[in-house]
Amino acid sequence: MLENPKLLSVIIETVGGRHWDHILNYFKNGGLVVYFGIIGEYAAPKKLSDSFALDWTFSAYTRHEYELTSVGKEILGEALTTVEYSKANLLKVPESDRILVPKHPYDSLEDLVRDEIDGRQKDDDEVMDEGRVQYAAMREELNKQALLVMHEADHGGRIAYLGFVNGNIPKFVKAICMGARTSSMS
């Protein structure tokens, strides 16, 4: 079945097992493997990393509002760019693999300064400098918590990890598995 040229993707819920070698060969031959990380198997990212030569680790189980990265918009389009407040299994992955990450709690540096820093006895330059540092640190920490990721290997095989079940998950799954952009789907 995995050698069928019409097969677009394979969805798995566990790592390993009786057919694991076939899944790995499918990937090595350019196939797309999609792992549903929704059952809370926190060791799965390490197992996937070991099997598929990745740099993925489990980072958190928490809830945020989420937004597509520039990589995500390139892959999925811009018809759907956010996911509402949702619990998810999150991964720390290289930037090139991040598709959906937590939204920054502030829309701008100025909002952060107004809410978090402003009112302290500091001059404007010092407040803005502190704000820039805090804003960058918040974004870096949030980037370590991706809930939808995908890696493309040099041989063309791809592996995706979906760590959530709510919101636009059916549309994102369809887009990933079918190679379609969300803007072209109903």
- Residue 165: what pLDDT? 67
- For the ranges 82-86, 116-120, 135-139, the lowest mean pLDDT is seen at 116-120
- Domains assigned to the chain: 10-102+144-178 (3.40.50.880), 109-140 (no CATH)
Give the chain's end-to-end CA distance (angstroms, integer).
29
Q: What is the mean pLDDT of residues 95-106?
A: 83
- For 116-127, the three-class secondary structure string (H helix, E strand, C coil) is HHCCCCCCHHHH
- For the ranges 2-16, 108-122, 123-137, the lowest mean pLDDT is seen at 108-122
Q: d(Cα 112, Cα 78) in Å, to the nearest integer? A: 26
- Residue 66: what pLDDT? 81
Q: Does pLDDT of 44 surpass 80? A: yes
- Residue 122: what pLDDT? 58
| Helical axes 20-28 vs 44-52, angle rounded to 10° | 50
